[in-house]
Amino acid sequence: MSIGMGSNFGSLQPVFKSVGTNYTYKRAQTSFIGEKFKPDEPICSGSLRPSSIDSIINLVKDIQDTSIWKNNSHIMSGGIVEMWVQHDSINLHFTLWNAYDSIAKEIVKILNTNLPDSVNNLWISDFEANLISRD
């Protein structure tokens, strides 16, 4: 799920949810004050290949943390990506505020291989901040 910030606040953002092998993909208003005022826009639904699920599990199975939180404080607009991976004993939550994570990026690539060619791919920031030290 993506949450719009700054000029993206209140805009429709991609929301991908899978339960088991079934998924739904839509655009939804995920940031708002008070109540949502834009209706969801369904994009597609389908089934994830079992090999995709296995690949995602293999990516995250050795991560010891239950939460990965990254922030790129140099960008105030853009979006926040929230991603949960839950399977058997795996319960991992990514929160990326305009930030990059290589494992989350690989998960998105895997999910995109399951989407029809006719729809826009899911996205995640691929901006790796290179901080300059003044030492």
Q: Confirm whether 127 is domain-assigned.
A: no
Mean pLDDT across the stretch 65-79?
A: 78
| Domains identified in the chain, total number | 1
Q: Confirm whether 117 is domain-assigned.
A: no
pLDDT (tens digit per residue) in 1-11: 666 555 667 67
Q: Confirm whether 58 is domain-assigned.
A: yes
Share of the chain above pLDDT 90, in %: 33
Cα-based distances in Å from 28 to 31, 69, 88, 102, 113: 9, 23, 28, 25, 22
Q: Confirm whether 85 is domain-assigned.
A: yes
State the pLDDT confidence band at 76, using cuts at 50, 70 and 90: low
Q: Confirm whether 122 is domain-assigned.
A: no
Q: Confirm whether 102 is domain-assigned.
A: yes
Structure tokens at 78: 């853009």
Considering the entire predicted model, what is its pTM? Answer: 0.80
The residue range of the domain holding 39 is 2-112
Residue 29 has pLDDT above 60, yes or no: yes
Q: Confirm whether 98 is domain-assigned.
A: yes
Q: Confirm whether 123 is domain-assigned.
A: no
- Give the whole-angstrom CA distance, residue 15 versus residue 82: 10
